[in-house]
Structure 1
Amino acid sequence: MSDKPLRKKLSADQTLADQVGIKAARKLRARRRGAAGVWFGLGMMGLVGWSVAVPTLVGAGIGLWLDKHYPGKHAWTLALLMAGLVIGCFNAWRWIVKEEHAMHEDEEDDDA
C-alpha cells in the first residue's frame, strides 16, 4: 500500500507529528476492521453464491413444472435454468460493484 495519495493531501504546514497521527489512526481503523473483514468476506461469498443459486434453481423448477404440465417440442427446463443463471450472475455482479464502490468511498473518507 503506497503512501503517495496521503502525501499529496498533506499540506506543507503539517508537521511530522500530524503525519504520524494520521497514519496511526488509519492503522487503528484497519485493525478494528480486520476481524470483521474476514467474516464480511465469507458472508459476501455466501451472498454471492446464493444470489446465483436461487434464481438458477427457481428457473429450473419452473421449467420442470412447465415441461410436466405443458409438454411441447422445446424443453423449458434448460431455457429457464439458463435465464435464472443469467439473472443470478447479473444480481451478483451488481451487488459486488455496489459493495466495491462503498468500500472505496470509505477509504476516501478515512483519508480526508
Structure 2
Amino acid sequence: MTQKPDRSAEDIGQRARRMKAARDDPGPSPLRGIGTFGMIGWSIAVPTVGGVFLGLWLDRVAPQTFSWTIALLLGGVVLGALIAWNWIGKEGDGR
C-alpha cells in the first residue's frame, strides 16, 4: 500500500494566501457605488439650492431686468457639476 502525502499543510497555506489576497483587495462593493451616487447628488444639490436661496434674496434686495434666482440656479448646477466631476476624477485615480 502506498500512502498519500499529507497535503493539509499545503491546503492551509493556500487558504491563508487566498484569505490574505481577499483582505488586501476586497473588490467592488455595491455600498461604495451607493455612497458615490450620494456624494455626487449632494455635491450638485447643495450649490444649486444655495444659489436659489441667494437668488431669491437678491431678487428682493436688488431687483434687475433678469432673474437672480434663475441665473444663480444655473450657476449652482454648473458649480455642482464641476465639484462632482473633480470628485469623480480623484476617486478614479485612487483605484
Q: What TM-score do the two structures reach when normalised by structure 2?
A: 0.72
The answer to whether structure 1 residue 93 and structure 2 residue 85 are counterparts is: yes
Q: Give the distance between the partners of 1:86 and 1:96, measured in 2 at CA.
A: 15
AA at the equivalent of 2:55: G
Give the equivalent residue in structure 2 for 1:46.
Answer: 38
Structure 1 residue 40: Cα displacement: 1.3
* Distance 1:48-1:69 versus aligned 2 partners, 3 A rule: same
Q: Give the distance between the partners of 1:65 and 1:91, measured in 2 at CA.
A: 24
The answer to whether structure 1 residue 28 and structure 2 residue 22 are counterparts is: yes
SS in 2 for 1:58: helix
SS in 2 for 1:74: coil
Q: Indicate the larger mover: 62-71 or 48-57.
A: 62-71
Give the equivalent residue in structure 1 for 2:94.
Answer: 102
Structure 1 residue 31: Cα displacement: 7.4
Bigger fraction of residues in helix? 1
* Structure 1 residue ranges without an equivalent (≥5): 1-19, 104-112
Query: What is the number of equivalent residue pairs in this alignment?
Result: 81
Structure 1 residue 70: Cα displacement: 1.6
SS in 1 for 2:64: coil
The answer to whether structure 1 residue 83 and structure 2 residue 69 are counterparts is: no
Q: What TM-score do the two structures reach when normalised by structure 1?
A: 0.62
* Structure 2 residue ranges without an equivalent (≥5): 1-13
The answer to whether structure 1 residue 74 and structure 2 residue 66 are counterparts is: yes
Q: Give the distance between the partners of 1:102 and 1:31, measured in 2 at CA.
A: 13
Give the equivalent residue in structure 1 for 2:7.
Answer: none
